[in-house]
Amino acid sequence: MLIKIVRTFLGCFLTGLIVQSAWVALVEAYGLIGGWFAAFIIISPMWFLNHYLGLIENEKDGAWIDMAIGIAVAGLVRDLFKIHSFSFAFKVLPVLLAVIAGGIVGGYLAVFVKQGMAKETEEEKI
């Protein structure tokens, strides 16, 4: 259990660190193409490590934990230490709540879509 926690920590830490430190620099230097390049050279290898190789291990019947959580937390904490104040947290709270609500609704609807697809597959077999 401890090794699973350490691996998940490492996967989220590395992803958050690299995205929060390199992405903006690439966008500022190369504009829109820099953003696409950052997505390719940062997210692709981190997705491979975290999800394909299983650095972040997800239980088969459990909730899916994604590396995006690590990126989001790293961004919030980075700004907290940069500004040395919690005032920004209150400014972004409406957006953060909207993101959380959107994720909840999206996850809820994904269950219905997946169940509907499974039902259609079963009906085709009959």
For the chain, first and last CA: distance in Å? 42
pLDDT reported for residue 92: 81
pLDDT reported for residue 15: 93
The domain segmentation of the chain, as residue ranges, is 1-84, 86-126
pLDDT reported for residue 54: 85
Please list the ranges in the chain whose pLDDT falls under 50: none
For residue 96, the SS3 value is: helix
11-21 as b/e, with b when 16 or more CB fall inside 10 Å?
bbebbbebbbe
pLDDT reported for residue 60: 77
Asked whether 16 and 71 are in contact (CB, 8 A), the reply is: yes
pLDDT reported for residue 124: 80
The pTM of the full predicted model, rounded to 2 decimals, is 0.72
For residue 126, the SS3 value is: coil
pLDDT reported for residue 64: 72
